[in-house]
Amino acid sequence: MGQFGFLIDMDGVIYKGKQVVEGANRFIQRLLDEQIPFAFLTNNSQRTRRDGVIKLARMGIHVDESHIFTCAMATARFLASQKPGGTAFVIGEGGLLQALHKNGYAIVDDDPDYVVVGEGRMFNMETVEAAVRMILRGSKLIATNLDPNCPTAHGLRPGCGAIVAMLETATGLKAFSVGKPSPVMMRSARKELGLSTGGVVMIGDTMETDILGGVSMGYRTVLVLTGSTKREDLVRYAYRPDVVIDSIGQLCEEHIFQHVIEGLAVDPAPQEAPA
Ligand SMILES: [Mg+2]
């Protein structure tokens, strides 16, 4: 089999709140030991890559920044490709601001090319009002993701999608979203790992983002039941994951790991042309 690798959601897959999912660290260690490419794919735009590394390290999972791929990065790279050296007004936090700066964007509070929205708590009516006026004057509305809410230790809080909905309703204009399940982020992460479409396994706990994104791209999809989806929910969806497992820890069992990668459609290594 040719090269294959994993895109892995974090929240609800690797941890729940501050609690690491049993076996997650053993599975990640296997990927590291066997040099199997992987990246954590998250719709959290608040954290930088470094923040993600530290959060995982505190749970006993030791990876480096190259293993973290956020919707903030995907958004910043996308905007830099669409309009190099542009300007943005940001409703969001550190991870998003840093990603935009790294990709040659300036943060402005007047007449930006884009109004870019991430989730977070630095949010007030004043910034929303400013954003609405900018959008009505022609700035384009970009969402890092459309997740309606985010799980926290104390229950759900409004996510980026909720903030975006407010701007959409006020302006009558629709946002362009870059995060999962958008093909922009799903493809960008695959390319970062240097894999072909048939060699990617997407592991996630949310049907609307992880699994839909993976199915749409033609990746192999694995749903874990440690997060937002229960087995009985699956009948409600028009698409389904290739494999359903109780927890990512089950991938430490060899026959389950083999079952997951057996379905991959990786081209064999190219034959050498006859002399
Ligand atoms: Mg999740």
Is 62 inside any structural domain?
A: no
Which pLDDT belongs to residue 263? 81
Question: Is the domain of 92 the same as that of 167?
Answer: yes
Which pLDDT belongs to residue 273? 55
What CATH number does the domain containing 115 carry?
3.40.50.1000
Lowest mean pLDDT among 102-106, 148-152, 209-213: 148-152
- Ligand 1 centre from 23 Cα, in Å? 17
**Which of the two residues, 193 and 270, has the higher pLDDT score?**
193
Distance between CA atoms of residues 191 and 115, nearest Å: 26
- Contact call for residues 25 and 237 (beta carbons, < 8 A): no
Is 78 inside any structural domain?
A: no
Give the number of other Cβ atoms within 10 Å of residue 64's Cβ: 10
Phi, psi of 204 (to 5 degrees): -155, 175
Question: Is the domain of 161 the same as that of 191?
Answer: no
Paired strand residues for 202: 7, 221
- Ligand 1 centre from 218 Cα, in Å? 20
Among 177, 203, 238, the domain boundary falls at 177
Question: Is the domain of 203 the same as that of 239?
Answer: yes
Which token pair is 241?
């994951």
- Ligand 1 centre from 130 Cα, in Å? 31
Residue (of 117, 90, 115) closest to 101 by Cα position: 90
Is the pLDDT confidence value at 267 over 90? no
Number of domain units in the chain: 2
Which residues does 146 contact at the CB level (< 8 Å), separation at least 6? 160, 161, 164, 175, 177, 179
C-alpha dist (Å) from residue 117 to 68, 75, 104, 141, 148: 20, 10, 18, 8, 13
- Ligand 1 centre from 256 Cα, in Å? 21
- Ligand 1 centre from 18 Cα, in Å? 14
Among 177, 199, 233, the domain boundary falls at 177
Is 13 inside any structural domain?
A: yes
| Confidence grade of residue 272 (pLDDT, cut at 50, 70, 90) | low
Among 177, 206, 235, the domain boundary falls at 177
Is 164 inside any structural domain?
A: yes
Which pLDDT belongs to residue 18? 85
Domain with 165 in it: 84-177
Is 32 inside any structural domain?
A: yes
Please return the burial class of 274, using the count of CB atoms within 10 Å of its CB with bins 0-12, 13-18 and 19+: exposed
Paired strand residues for 149: 158
Residue 205, annotated ligand binder? Answer: yes
Question: Is the domain of 91 the same as that of 30?
Answer: no
Distance between CA atoms of residues 263 and 67, nearest Å: 24
| Confidence grade of residue 183 (pLDDT, cut at 50, 70, 90) | very high
Is 27 inside any structural domain?
A: yes
Residue 109, annotated ligand binder? Answer: no
The predicted model scores a pTM of 0.93
Residue 111, annotated ligand binder? Answer: no
Nearest-10 Cα torsion for 100, 142, 13, 197: -90
- Contact call for residues 233 and 38 (beta carbons, < 8 A): no
Question: Is the domain of 194 the same as that of 233?
Answer: yes
Question: Is the domain of 88 the same as that of 173?
Answer: yes
Question: Is the domain of 102 the same as that of 159?
Answer: yes
Average the pLDDT over 92-118 and give the result.
Answer: 97
Which token pair is 82?
């669409």
Number of H helices, E strands in the chain: 9, 15
Is 273 inside any structural domain?
A: no
The rounded percent of the chain whose pLDDT value lies above 70 is 96
Q: Catalytic residue positions?
A: 9, 11
Residue 242, annotated ligand binder? Answer: no
Distance between CA atoms of residues 84 and 103, nearest Å: 8
